[in-house]
Amino acid sequence: MGESGLTVTFHGVRGSTACHDPQTHRYGGNTSCVSIKSANDAPIIFDLGTGLRYINSSQSETELRPEPFVGTCLLTHLHWDHIQGLPFFRSMLCEETVLDIYAPKQEDGRGLREIFLKKICPPIFPISLNEFKATINFHEIGDDDFMIGNTKVMSRFVPHTGPTLGYRITAGNSTVTYLSDHQQPVTGFALTTGARQICQGTDLLIHDSQYTPAEFELKSDWGHSTFEFAMWVAETTSAKRLALFHHDPSRTDDALDVIAQRLAGVAKNRGFEVFAAAEGMSVEVVA
């Protein structure tokens, strides 16, 4: 990886709920979590789904001692499948761990720390969030542009169920856009100004592609997108690569193979690349 490059690793690629069965093991069943590493900055994590458990976990569970983590999470929204991994993140047991969580301001005015303390506490979880040794700093954001170290971050509200952000990060000349949960318009294809801003000309677009068109007809107001809409977003914003993401828990590995293979040829003719994100997959992003 060069000084201006980014390494993107997928730790959880499922939407809605974690799943584990022989038909989903190749692409993986953990919910949304993606890590970004650059040459000059601390790691950045997109979302805190169940895939978070596998960051800093290179050894077997029986041998593993928690390792400190110092870095940032850019959290898209507060739905359970995007935060469920936090109390199972082993680095939370280390006093040296410092995790800065950026997340959308809530419409009802409740603070992020208050919300997390009410979600991660007895009787829902054995201990309260504030009993972990790690230091967690919460930052409430909206349509903002800011820096994390040497990395530029653009956050924009996007259509979904509840306050939801999409993110674009730029390190050197390399850009990654993360739109994990994105409500496709019920009729026709269109993008909000904010969504277009974070997608335009990006090197890698990680985009919600939970539904087939037939599924979308039954769940058109559930807050997600079809493969076709994700392809349209990539093409219309001149993205270089598209990672299909937030796979439906009912989507089998074989079905994802067929979809990815079919769309690869279409994308090539439209001037970009497409692949289906899988757990453990790492992608180098260099402009």
- Which domain CATH number covers 181? 3.60.15.10
DSSP the chain: --TT-EEEEEEE-B-SS---STTTTTT--PBSEEEEEESSS--EEE--SGGGGGTT--S-TTT------EEEEE-----GGGTTTGGG-GGGG-TT-EEEEEEEPPTT---HHHHHHHHSSTTTSSS-GGGSSSEEEEEEESSEEEEETTEEEEEEE-SSSSS-EEEEEEETTEEEEEE-S----SSS----HHHHHHHTT-SEEEEE--B-HHHHHHSTTSS--BHHHHHHHHHHTT-SEEEEESB-TT--HHHHHHHHHHHHHHHHHHT-EEEE--TT-EEEE--
Q: In this structure, is residue 1 part of a structural domain?
A: no
Full residue range of the structural domain in which residue 26 is found: 6-285
Q: Which of 225, 224, 212 lies closest to 251, judged by CA?
A: 212
3-state DSSP of 56-103: CCCCCCCCCCCCCCEEEEECCCCCHHHCCCHHHCHHHHCCCCEEEEEE
Look at residue 2 in the predicted model and tell me its pLDDT.
47
Q: What is the pLDDT of residue 41?
A: 86
pTM for this structure? Answer: 0.95
Q: In the prediction, which pLDDT does 4 show?
A: 61
pLDDT (tens, 9 = 90+) of the chain, 287 residues, equals 445 689 999 999 999 999 999 999 999 999 999 999 988 789 999 999 999 999 976 555 545 678 999 999 999 999 999 999 999 999 999 999 999 999 999 989 899 999 999 999 999 999 999 999 999 999 999 999 999 999 999 999 999 999 999 999 999 999 999 999 999 999 999 999 999 999 999 999 999 999 999 999 999 999 999 999 999 999 999 999 999 999 999 999 999 999 999 999 999 999 999 999 999 999 999 87
Per the CB < 8 A criterion, the answer to whether 72 and 42 are in contact is: yes
Q: Is residue 226 part of a domain?
A: yes
Which strands make up the sheet holding 273-276, listed edge to edge?
Answer: 144-148, 151-157, 165-171, 174-179, 204-208, 241-245, 273-276
Q: What is the pLDDT of residue 60?
A: 52
Which class for 282: exposed (0-12), middle (13-18), buried (19 or more C-beta within 10 A)?
exposed
Total domains in the chain come to 1
